[in-house]
A and B are shown apart, each in its own frame.
Chain A
Amino acid sequence: VDLSLSDKHRELRDEVRAFIVEHGHKSPKLGGGRKRPDRKALDWQKLLVDHGYVARTIPREYGGYGAEPDVMEAAVIASEFAAAGIYAGLTNQGISMLVPTLLEVGTEAQKRLWIEKTIRGDIIWCQGYSEPGAGSDLASLTTRGVLEDGHFTINGQKIWTSSAHYADMMFLLCRTEPDRPKHEGISYLLLSMRTPGIEVRPLRTMTGRAEFNEVFFTDVRVPEDQIVLGRGKGWYVANVTLKHERSMIGSAEKMTTRLEQLIALLKSNGLLGMAEYRDRLLKLQGEVIAWKAHNLRLLTESAQGVDSGVKRMIVKYGGTMLGFRLASLAVDALGTAGLPFESAGEDAEDDDATTWNIDYLYDVGLMIGGGSNNIQKNIIAERGLDLPREPKVARA
């Protein structure tokens, strides 16, 4: 164990600090993601791309910075931006999921067409995966894609589609080979959200905001060459991204920030003098210390190319539970002062504003989205601890 930075990383840290001093005033405020990025956010994103603080390892021919992969560099950059309270760049499904997928399995033409525009924020993607009947059991999806005359004709429905109301493009999983076993009958298509036959209906959540949408497809025609990798390969393509998933560089910083805000809240409310509140805060502080250290361990293993196995699988479950408990204490500390409608943020004029109440509600969604906690626990137990799978129940 040695937490000091190497010369190379210290130089990078100093460079990032100097960048923040010079350009930090141009940063949009933190948060966001529920609206299309505005001019300010796009200018900032392009500045970050040009300096290699985002898309750092994307090859230059696709518009990136072309650096060798180095998770420590990513961690140094993330931690400097977090410490300065500066926006670290767009985080959307195009950047985090589609781009690494195309890099691995896309055609040269697809890479040249989409990657640069996506990392610069000029094209926003949404992900067409979940369906009303295919949530945790995603491979049971039934949206059909029928190939005829050089086009796939899509019919069906997607749900929980974040940013579909402003996205330009969608990466879609649909069933193109209905006669094949369920995992082998799926294809991964790229399509414009302006294609005729697409209807987007906002879906209001318990936070009071339209966090995501339902998307309906009626005879939507997608050119055949907009498939990634090939017919029936969609399940494989969707899973390619998972290997690239980097532990929790961002969320460990976020947890620390949240804890600091929570401490400030309890101080200002005078609640640190009450043993019950104080002990809850202290317990959460202990857990944040543990998860931060755990993140350092994952980071090291990732840099060494070690597969962290169960150590990585516990992060989503543990992290979302801890996040909810942090927000819960904040809401309890606010007491009745947190109850008025406005403070819950439901009619906040700025759709990107966040409050403890919104975090408290939104965190419930985080425990469900991207693999609910019960599914996470199955994954931890079966893949992480090698416990046997549930016996299959015979079909009725």
Chain B
Amino acid sequence: MDFALSEEQRLFADSLHGLLADRVTIDALRSHAEIGSGFDADLWNSLVELGLPGLLVPERFGGAGLGVLDAAVAAEVLGGAAAFAPFAGSVVMATLAFIHGATEEVQDAWLPRIATGDVRFGVGFSGNGGRVSPAIDAGAPTHMLVYLLDGTALVVAAEHASMRSHRSIDRTRPVTDVTFDTARALVLDAANAPLATMQRVLDAGRIVLAADTLGAAQHMFDQALAFVKQRVQFNRVIGSFQAVKHQFADMVTMLEPCRAMVWYAAYAQDALPDEARLTALQTKAHLGDVGRDIARMATEAHGGMGFTDLLGLHYWFKRISFNRQMLGGPELCREEAARLQGWIA
């Protein structure tokens, strides 16, 4: 038994972190927030060079053939940098939709193009007809992947869909309403288990968003800790006040077990089928709650500066808030967990 990241996972996280530290500076974040599409061609191309889009694509289709845990590790780094790049939907959910819910022939047509970064998917879930609201990673996709209520998966080119993006609370990622004519869509074949496949894709997306929140919350915590170690008031660094110390003790006590939780849930998706659904739902819910608390307390620890645009801490605050609501907020995820366990009808 070994519950730790592998050497490869740590190295990959380090190189992704290094790349993002160069590319996603606070100035870059500010200027991307003016556009707010959640996609930047230069950044995307360097992520392609690193092999990020093909992370989950099987090797025979040109990818790295890795699992949800590896995706979660990458998502933590992306969240920590507040990187404006499609990932949860485009790289993780869409890839898994093809792996688990498409014929070999369709996989052959699409998976290699995901790995090269040539196609990017917005992903959404549709209540009825062809209207999807809101979709994830849909600010500037080449294609949309849309799940209907019964688990049917449709793929449609972006130019055949009507896409309306709105600036979201997280100015680096929009929310997008999509309408399209189902007649123009390719229907993926999930053999006999369309609902189970949809849930698997959705749960992987939830874990990746939870991991993104983990990274963003850790970043805010680290910033706040560094701040209270140097800020002086009453002739003392404010981190020497017990009230401040205890707030940091509370934060780290909440946050650190979240990392193990994300690893566990991500690992479960590929290795522990009996626990996969419950841990995904609970992890999405728990990280939503912890993320909000950390975002609030880390901002508060900065005093007035935390509230300013100047410091830019709010990009992470808003990213955490965005992740919380997408693919089911904590209350909805917990209700689904209750149904899953037969606690309610």
Contact = CB atoms under 8 A, between A and B. Distances in A.
Given A272-B338, A286-B285, A377 B1 contact: no
Contacts of B228: 387
A381 B1 contact: no
Contacts of B334: 279, 282-283, 286
Interface string A275-295: 000110011011101111111
Contacts of B6: 1
A257 B4 CA distance: 25
A386 B252 CA distance: 13
B222 to A, nearest CB: 10
B265 to A, nearest CB: 8
A45 interface: no
A382 B245 contact: yes
Interface string A304-321: 100000110010011000
A268 interface: no
B260 interface: yes
Contacts of B4: 1, 297, 300-301, 304
A389 B236 CA distance: 11
A391 interface: yes
A387 B244 CA distance: 10
Contacts, number: 150
A290 B253 contact: no
B264 A296 contact: yes
Nearest to A312: B256
Interface string A1-31: 1111110010000000000000000000000
A67 B251 CA distance: 39
A87 to B, nearest CB: 24
Question: Which interface residue of B3, B263, B338 has the most chain A CB atoms within 10 A?
Answer: B3
Given A278-B344, A285-B282, A1 B256 contact: no
B160 interface: no
Contacts of A317: 249, 253
Classify chain B's interface size. Answer: 35 or more
A392 to B, nearest CB: 11
B125 interface: no
Nearest to B229: A387
B225 interface: yes
Interface in B133-171: none
A381 B3 CA distance: 26
Interface in B237-282: 237, 239-240, 242, 244-246, 248-250, 252-254, 256-261, 263-265, 267, 271-272, 278-279, 282
B248 A3 contact: no
Question: Which interface residue of A267, A289, A317 has the most chain B CB atoms within 10 A?
Answer: A289
B237 A377 contact: no
B27 interface: no
Contact of A385 (B237, B252, B267): B252
A317 B252 CA distance: 11
Contacts of A299: 1, 3
B186 to A, nearest CB: 35
Contact of A377 (B250, B256, B272, B285): B250
Contact of B337 (A3, A282, A381): A282
A290 B260 contact: yes
A384 interface: yes
A374 B246 contact: yes
B211 interface: no
B14 interface: no
Contact of A2 (B1, B245, B286): B1
Given A3-B267, A314-B256, A293 B240 contact: no
Contacts of B267: 1, 3
Interface string B208-228: 000000000000000001001
Do most interface residues of chain B lie in helix, strand or loop, or is the interface mixed?
helix
B69 interface: yes
A294 B246 CA distance: 21
B282 A3 contact: no
Interface in A40-89: 72, 75
A287 B245 CA distance: 23
A387 B239 contact: yes
Question: Which interface residue of A293, A294, A376, A384 has the most chain B CB atoms within 10 A?
Answer: A293
A378 interface: yes
B279 A72 contact: no
Contact of A1 (B5, B258, B338): B5
Nearest to B246: A377
Contacts of A279: 331, 334
A381 B248 contact: yes
A317 to B, nearest CB: 6
A293 B225 contact: no
B2 interface: yes
B261 A381 contact: no
A296 to B, nearest CB: 4
Contact of B261 (A4, A294, A377): A294
A390 interface: yes
Nearest to A1: B267
A329 to B, nearest CB: 14
Contact of B1 (A6, A278, A285, A380): A6
Contact of B240 (A287, A290, A310, A390): A390
Given A1-B2, A1-B5, A272 B260 contact: no
Contacts of A295: 260
Contact of A310 (B3, B242, B252, B338): B252
Q: Which 9 A-B pairs have the closest CB atoms?
A: A381-B245, A293-B260, A377-B249, A293-B264, A294-B257, A290-B261, A296-B3, A380-B249, A282-B334
Interface of A: 1-6, 9, 72, 75, 267, 272-273, 278-279, 282-283, 285-287, 289-297, 299-301, 304, 310-311, 314, 317-318, 374, 376-378, 380-382, 384-391
Given A296-B264, A377-B249, 6 more contacts: A3-B271, A3-B272, A267-B343, A282-B334, A283-B334, A297-B260
15 contacts: A3-B267, A278-B338, A279-B331, A282-B334, A283-B334, A289-B286, A296-B260, A296-B264, A297-B263, A300-B3, A311-B256, A377-B250, A381-B245, A387-B225, A388-B240
